[in-house]
Amino acid sequence: MENFQPNKINQDFSQRITAIRFPLACFVIFIHFKVTEVNFAGETMAVTAPLYVEIIRHLVANVWGGIAVPLFFIISGYLFAAKPKPAKVTVKSKFQGIVVPYILWTLITAALFFAAQSFAFTRPYFTQEQNIIRSWKAVDVIKAFFGRTQPDADYYHPLVYQFWYLRNLLVFFCISPLIKIAVQKTPFFYLALILSATILRLAGLFPDPFWIFPALFYFSLGFYAVRHIQGVLNALDSLRWRDALSGYAVFTAVCMYLSFTENPAAVIIGFLNTILTILLAVKAAGNACKNEKAYSILSGLSAYSFWIYAAHAPFISAVVNKLSIRFFPMHGALILIQFFGTSLLCIVLLVCIGAFIRKICPKLFSLLTGGRI
C-alpha cells in the first residue's frame, strides 16, 4: 500500500465532515432516550410499546443513529492519518481535545449527581446504585473514569457513558504508529483480522468488554480512507438517489426483520447495513454541501456537536427522560411522540445553553469542548 500523503486533507470530504457532525451528535441523543423504561426511586418503570412504535424507534435510534459513533471513529482516524503532526504537537492537542474535557465532564457529572442526591425532591431521579456518589470508594472513582459494568450492557463504560468513545480514541492515538504500519505493510491481513474480531464481538463470541475491536475497525477505516476517499466520494455521487434508496430500503427491511425475530444472521446483516448507512450519510452530506443555505446552517451548528455529545448524558437526558415518563401518559402513538419530543427538546435546550455559555464565556466553552469552538 502506498504511503499516506501528509498534510493533504481531501477538501470535499472535509466539507462533508463539517456538514454531518451536528446531525450525528443529535442521533446519539436518540440512541440514549429509552422512553419506555427508566429507573425511578430504585424501581424500573416500564411500558409496553406497540410493534409499529418499536419499529420506528429502532429505525431512528439503532439503524440511523447506530452510525454516529462508528462514523465519528472513521472521521477521527482519517483526520489523524491525513494530516500528521509532530509528536509534541499531537500530545498537546490530544490532551486539550480529549483528556481535559474527559476529566472536566466526569467531575461535573459526579458533582451534579451528588447535588441531586442531596435533596429529597430530586433524589428519586438519581438512584442507580453505582451512581450514589456518597457511597463511592477509591476504586469507584477510578471506574468512573475508565469504565465499569452496567446492568443493561455487556461492556464497560465510564460515568459519562458516551465517553467510552473518547477513552478508546485516546488508546488508538497512542497506538497509532502501529496502526499505520499495519495498514501500510499488511493492509488486507490487518483489515481481515480486525473485521473478524469485530464480527465475533458483535455476535457476543469474543470477550471485549471495552468494545475495542469494533471501534478499532472503524478508526482504522479512517486510515484506509486517506488513500481511497476521493474514489469513494466519486462513486457515491455518481449513484442515483432513487437506486440507492430503493436498494437500501429493501436491505434495511430485511435487517430489521432479522433483528426483531432474533435471527443469528442479524449480526452480519446489521453490520453490513451500518456500512451502507454510513455511505448514504456521506452521500447526503455531499448534497447538503452543494446547498449554500443548508451548509451554512450545518456549519454553524457543528460548533455545538461536541457540546451536545458531552453534555446530554447522563444528567440532562436522565432528567428529561424520567420527567416525561413520570408526568405524561405513555401508551400507543404517545410513546412515539415522547421519543421524538424529548429527544428534540434535549437538543434545543443544549444548543441554547451552549450558545449562551459560548457567548458570555467563550473560554469556558472552549475548555469544555476541547478547543472545538
- 46 pLDDT band (50/70/90 cuts)? low
For residue 206, the model assigns a pLDDT of 84
Place of cell 486533507: 9
- 26 pLDDT band (50/70/90 cuts)? very high
The CA distance from 272 to 255, in Å, is: 9
For residue 85, the model assigns a pLDDT of 85
Q: Tell me the average pLDDT across 309-323.
A: 78
- Return all residues near 269 (Cβ < 8 A) that are at least 6 apart: 251, 254, 255, 258
Q: Which of 154-168, 196-210, 295-309, 315-329 has the lowest mean pLDDT?
A: 315-329
Give percent of the chain above pLDDT 70.
91
User: Does the pLDDT value for residue 3 go beyond 60?
Assistant: no
Name the pTM for this structure.
Answer: 0.93
For residue 7, the model assigns a pLDDT of 57
**HSE-up of 88 (CA within 13 Å, CB side)?**
0
State whether residue 169 is helix, strand or coil: helix
For residue 232, the model assigns a pLDDT of 96
Q: What is the pLDDT of residues 219-238, one digit of tens each?
A: 999 999 999 999 999 999 99
Domain residue spans of the chain: 11-105+135-230+284-368
Q: Tell me the average pLDDT across 241-262.
A: 96
- Return all residues near 372 (Cβ < 8 A) that are at least 6 apart: 97, 303, 305, 306, 307, 366
Which one has a higher pLDDT value, 223 or 42? Answer: 223
Q: What is the pLDDT of residues 62-76, one digit of tens each?
A: 999 999 999 999 999
Q: What is the pLDDT of residues 268-310, one digit of tens each?
A: 999 999 999 999 999 999 999 999 999 999 999 999 999 999 9
User: Does the pLDDT value for residue 373 go beyond 50?
Assistant: yes
Q: What is the pLDDT of residues 112-144, one digit of tens each?
A: 999 989 988 878 777 778 888 999 999 999 999
Q: What is the pLDDT of residues 187-224, one digit of tens each?
A: 999 999 999 999 999 998 888 889 999 999 999 999 99
Give percent of the chain above pLDDT 90.
71
